[in-house]
A = this chain, B = another copy of it.
Amino acid sequence: MKASESAIQPFLERLMCRSSLDNDDQQKVLSLPAQIILVESNKDLIPDKEFTSHSCLVVSGISARYVQSKEGHRQIAALHIRGDMPDLSSLLLPHRSSGLQTITPSTIAFIPHNALHELTKSPAIAEAFWRDTMVDAAISTQWIVNLGQRDAPARIAHLICELATRYQKSHDGNEFEFALPLTQQHIADAVGISVVHANRAVQMLKNHGLMLIANRQVQVLDWRLLCRAADFDPTYLYLSCTSSGQ
């Protein structure tokens, strides 16, 4: 297997979680040309100018889609992990409306737009891409609810529930842990509160025996209760990977 194939593998797996592709289409995805680059933390992945010619794919690490408001505040609008294609939208929407930055050291694959465009000539692949875009939109909707309606602890709980599920860690029972290299500043920027307040909310979750965050690890102490506190329902993520596709 070529280096680029193994880099694209997680992306294909993601697609296959939600859509079904025949062998031919799978092969086409895997043979996408990709330039694989190691990127350190806090580096911008897409330039500010219009008309990028590549989309990038997270192979490892975490990246954040963010918007910087006029007063210097930053809002993280999405977090992207292994297998995600954060700026697929640049393929059809040339104006960049949000920035993209690595949070941890990451390996990123850059894929030329024309190759992606070529790929979408296969209807099944086009549909799979479209479906993934829809799931991203569904996630955004949930973030809107999170920001608009829940208090600080619930917002953080929901974020953690979402990430645990996307990392597929939520099936390991009611008590488990997983690596999550976010600082409290990142969490604060994602759920729209200040760092100080994020800290207190995290402690609140700890004191209630729901979860704790320490040295880049999240330890879920009571998954059931955490989901309840977060009002979390995983269906919107469409990640029932066990069954192939819908």
With A123-B121, A150-B69, A192-B149 known as contacts, the answer to whether A141 contacts B77 (CB < 8 A) is yes
Is B192 within 8 A of A148, CB to CB?
yes
Report how far A123 CA is from B138 CA in the complex, Å.
Answer: 24
Report how far A94 CA is from B191 CA in the complex, Å.
Answer: 28
A217: Cβ under 8 A from any B Cβ: no
Q: Which residues of B contact A89 (CB under 8 A)?
A: 134, 137-138
Q: Which residues of B contact A69 (CB under 8 A)?
A: 145, 149-150, 231
Copies in the complex: 2
Q: Which residues of B contact A236 (CB under 8 A)?
A: 95, 97
Report how far A126 CA is from B119 CA in the complex, Å.
Answer: 14
Besides the contacts A73-B149, A77-B144, A140-B144, what 19 more A-B pairs have beta carbons closer than 8 Å? Answer: A67-B145, A69-B145, A69-B231, A77-B141, A77-B145, A92-B131, A92-B246, A93-B131, A93-B138, A97-B138, A97-B235, A98-B141, A121-B123, A126-B127, A133-B133, A133-B137, A136-B137, A140-B140, A148-B192
Interface residues of A (CB under 8 A from B): 65, 67, 69-70, 73, 75, 77-78, 89, 92-95, 97-98, 120-121, 123, 126-127, 129-131, 133-138, 140-145, 147-150, 191-192, 231, 233, 235-236, 238, 246
